[in-house]
Structure 1
Amino acid sequence: MARVFDHVLIIMFENEYRSYVMANPYMRWLAGQGIDMANYHGAMHPSQTNYIASAAGQLCGVTSDDDPRAAGSGAVLDAKCIVDLMQPAEGAAPISWKAYMENYVGELTWVAQPPYYTKHNPFYMFDSVQSDPARVARIVDAKQLLRDIAAGEMPNYAWLTPNIWNDGHYLRGTKFAPNIRYLLVNQIADWLEHELFGPAGLNFPGPESKLPANTLVVVTFDEADYESVPGGSSYEGPNQIYTVLLGDLDAIVPGTVIREGYNHYSLLRTIEDNFGLGTLGTNDAASGPMRFLRGEHFSWSNPANLAPPHVGDDGTYVPLATTTGIVLGTYSDRAYMVSQGDGTDAAAYWNSFDGARWTDQQALTSVGTISGPMAMAGTRSALTLVYFDAGGVLSFVTYTDASGWGTPAAVPGANASVAPVALASFADEQELLLVFHTAAGLASMTYADGAWSRPTAIVAANVSQVMPGSSLALAELGNLLLLVYVD
């Protein structure tokens, strides 16, 4: 796969909601100079978790802004990070990289005093970096960035962390963050416009930019705003942050707004895919890259018939039965469809789609006759179909690449009414949630490691008022599961 960009420069600022940043005239103008990522989110709270997530594709068990070595054995993180992909311990490095830290102290030690804070240096955290002098040497002061560019030595991957004032964490010259957030946003904008992007800096964006050709610049924040409250502290609202993609790439058209959801894991995956690095096998592997940079955009195709249809009892082809129901689920990079015949043909049929062709439709003989609604969803390990069998019992059957369709069984303890059901995967595609009707209302069960949980009544506000037999739809959105029903 050809590279879309030859260099990437990531600049990470601190602790602001997207709306606060967009209220600043310069930051709003800057968003209009490239691709405004209008639905981009941080990975977690607090700050340090987002820096670690950006490098490792996971939180690595870190939940605070404290030195990771302060807990447990005192060791730094032993997880893999993007450095392990960019600069392998053995063999030729596929790409070059450097981390530019403003006011860097020159050594990998924990610093929590202005102007440099180690918690904003994601590469400090990992043993695979700290234990390798060649990797440590690639963490340098931010002043080196302009020197490297002038010498024609800008790395393929460049990370820039401004100091604790220029990144908007504290008011300049203090250790204080005011509740009036525009003061910090203005501070960020002033540094970005007049120093880093100014004529004496990168002279960017524009035709006279000092950056090498085909460079992607990512201006982003670690997380959304932090608010103190009496008796403790909390984070309010969604973790939505300002992020803009800039540069001379063909795909970067000024004024473009992307409203699909992305986050730090998506950015990591985009960089991995662009440079052919593979993945770390963590959340980056399950995240979608920014395909629009390759000119790929989601759109509905023209309708097409599914072929071939199934064969009836008389040996002739008959149209795909759709009167009673069709369900679709994904597993192991394929889409699977189970359809139920109508009228005299209430048997189950299945086929799959690899993105280009549908397989021949086959009878799902182990299931036999279906007497009610169905639902289907996949996890990393299996595809699961939930349905009502010929006797009206809520049942399930699983499919794996290794074993095909298994033996159906009743969903234990469900006592479900023959009515619509909903099924969705969650927990990083490792578990399933099933929602179904009972005589008392809606109930749910989870399925993980081959076992169902006990049924749990859904007693949220107004759910007890659900219309009997209401259609149900269930989907995962970030760390939420959304249930849609008719009250």
Structure 2
Amino acid sequence: MFTKQSLVTLLGGLSLAMAQTTTEEYPSLAEIRAAQATVQPYSPVSNVKGLAFNRFVNIWLENTDFDAAAATEHLPVLAKKGLLLNNFWAITHPSEPNYCASAAGDTFGMDNDDFHQIPSNVSTIADLFDTKNIAWGEYQEGLPYPGYQGYRYPESGANDYVRKHNPLILFDSVTEDALRLRQIKNFSSFYDDLENHRLPQYMFITPNMTNDGHDTNITFSGDWTWSFLSELLENDYFTKDTLIMLTFDETGTYEIGNNIYTFLLGGAVPDDLLGTKDDTFYTHYSVIASLSANWGLPSLGRWDCGANLFSWLAKKTGYVNYEVDTSNLYMNETHWGPLSDDDYSEYYAGWPVPTTDASCSAGNGILSTVKKTYEGLTATFNYTTPFPYDSRSGNNVGVKYSRTLKNGKVESGTSE
């Protein structure tokens, strides 16, 4: 298991340039109060034009089956204002590996909600965005100060903010960089950035443990979503050329297939798709692939490589998505790896090697640092398939997928 070692606190000459980078699982209250008084949020802006959208907003709720979300008062009403992704799948269980997957294209065997620090040579979407200076940010409700790395806050009593629902805080490549760390902010910063027109082009929004439904229920989180989004959807700055995705980390029932209720809103949804359903097979990895295709970014060379793109974006790029036979697909366990507790997956000390030379769905090659880091090594998994599977454990083996190319040629395969 990766050793959780504390890193030396980064120091800077100016308080505005400082970020608290202690990696203690439970920092002292004095340390938290000191950081609250000195650490300032960082809100870079950019305007890199995308092929299908200029801003992407990722909002996650918790642990709800598709049918339960579809039966709420508010979520179906919101979905009808945009596009329902009827065949969108989470990656695994429990929560944290799904959040990890959304940032790095892999779970690294994670089968738990533990305190993890993933080595700095593992690339994330932040590295993809930096190739074109695309501004990104996270907004975590209840975060005590920008870049807080504790396991939760407050550290006792009812849950509010939890680290396991914060994707980029898991990665040393982010936490060791003072500027990057300060781009992980709380909801006060969201409304400040909204009012001052300095929202990033990519944002990940996590409500607290009450509002996301984890410690309440889908009725409560559905009501929160309606309250949060209704006013924002009337804000032209927020919605113009923006794609807003509301989804869940996973289903609440582990024994079913992990198909989660997901819809897209915002000014970037094509008019002819408003109020309709899209049956294309998607996963959390499809979001990374679609971001890459939209802004001409490379792939991480992991499960984002073969993931399907948002359908109308795929048409713009000429990529043909795969159809996946989901009758035997469950996506309830992850593959083996170094972040496993040897519970739902198998612990293995080696970090999985990404592909460095595959042709990925986004069509822009592999991130140069990934190619350099893993040069000459063979990819651990077949990252070119539209869904993750593991031959060693048998996870999702025997699932069929196919597509018909524009020239009429049929490409098909079976995970094995």
TM-score range, shorter chain: 0.5 to 0.7
Structure number with the higher strand fraction is 1
- Give aligned pairs, total: 285
Gapped regions of structure 1 (runs ≥ 5): 70-74, 172-183, 227-234, 300-331, 334-425, 432-446, 449-472
CA offsets 1:392-411 (integer angstroms, 9 cap, x no match) = xxxxxxxxxxxxxxxxxxxx
1 CA distance for matches of 2:177 and 2:279? Answer: 41
Residues 320-366 of structure 1 show CA distances to partners (whole Å, capped at 9, x for unaligned) of xxxxxxxxxxxx87xxxxxxxxxxxxxxxxxxxxxxxxxxxxxxxxx
1:214 to 221, 238, 241: 241
1:165 paired with 2:210, answer yes
Matching of residue 110 in structure 1 with residue 151 in structure 2: yes
Identity score, percent? 29
1:5-404 equivalences under 5 Å are 5-69=53-117, 78-87=121-130, 93-106=132-145, 107-111=148-152, 114-171=159-216, 184-194=217-227, 196-199=228-231, 202=232, 204=233, 206=234, 208-226=235-253, 235-249=254-268, 251=270, 253-293=273-313, 295=315
Q: Distance in 1 between matches of 2:141 and 2:119?
A: 22
Alignment check: 8 A CA contact 1:10 1:158 kept:
yes
CA gap of 1:428–1:67, structure 2 versus 1, over 3 A, is: same
Which residue does 2:40 correspond to in 1?
Answer: none
Equivalent-residue separation in structure 1 for 2:305 and 2:165 (angstroms)? 24
Q: Is the 8 A contact 1:9 1:216 kept in 2?
A: yes
Structure 1 residues 22 and 77: CA distance shift in structure 2, 3 A:
farther
Distance change >3 Å, CA 286–CA 293, structure 1 → 2: closer
The residue number in structure 2 matching 1:459 is none
Letter in 2 for 1:13: L
Which residue does the alignment assign to 1:475? 400
TM-score, normalised via structure 1 length: 0.54
Q: Which has the higher contact order (CA 8 A, sep 6+)?
A: 2
C-alpha change, 1:151 and 1:45, in structure 2 (3 Å) is same
Equivalent position of 1:382 in the other structure: none
Deviations 1:156-183 (A, max 9, x none): 1011010011111002xxxxxxxxxxxx
Query: Aligned equivalents of 1:15 and 1:47: distance in 2?
Result: 8
Q: 1:101·1:162 contact (CA, 8 Å) conserved in 2?
A: yes
Give the corresponding residue for 1:310. none
Q: CA deviation at 1:474?
A: 8.1
1:56/1:80 contact within 8 Å kept: yes
Aligned twin of 2:382: 428
| Separation in structure 1 between the aligned mates of residue 310 and residue 384 of structure 2, nearest angstrom | 24
Structure 2: runs of 5+ lacking an equivalent: 1-48, 322-357, 360-379, 386-390, 393-397, 403-412
Distance 1:84 1:151 in 2: 26
Which structure is larger by alpha-carbon Rg, 1 or 2?
A: 1
Query: What RMSD over aligned residues (CA atoms) do the two structures have, in Å?
Result: 3.2
In structure 1, C-alpha distance between the alignment counterparts of 2:239 and 2:107, rounded to whole Å: 33
Aligned counterparts of 1:250 and 1:224: Cα–Cα separation in 2: 25
- Bigger helix share: 2
Cα offset for 1:287? Answer: 1.2
1:16-66, Cα deviation, whole Å (9 max, x unpaired) = 111110001211111111110000000111100100000000012322111
Cα distance in structure 2, aligned partners of 1:269 and 1:130: 24
Q: How far, CA to CA, are the matches of 2:81 and 2:306 in structure 1?
A: 30
Instruction: Tell me if structure 1 keeps the 8 A contact 2:74–2:222.
Output: yes
* CA distance, structure 2, for counterparts of residue 482 and residue 129 of structure 1: 34
Q: Tell me, yes or no, if the aligned pair for 1:62 and 1:68 is still in contact at 8 Å.
A: no
Query: What CA distance in whole angstroms lies between the structure 2 residues aligned with 1:474 and 1:109?
Result: 39
CA contact (8 A) 1:60 1:77 kept: no
Paired letter, 1:33: K
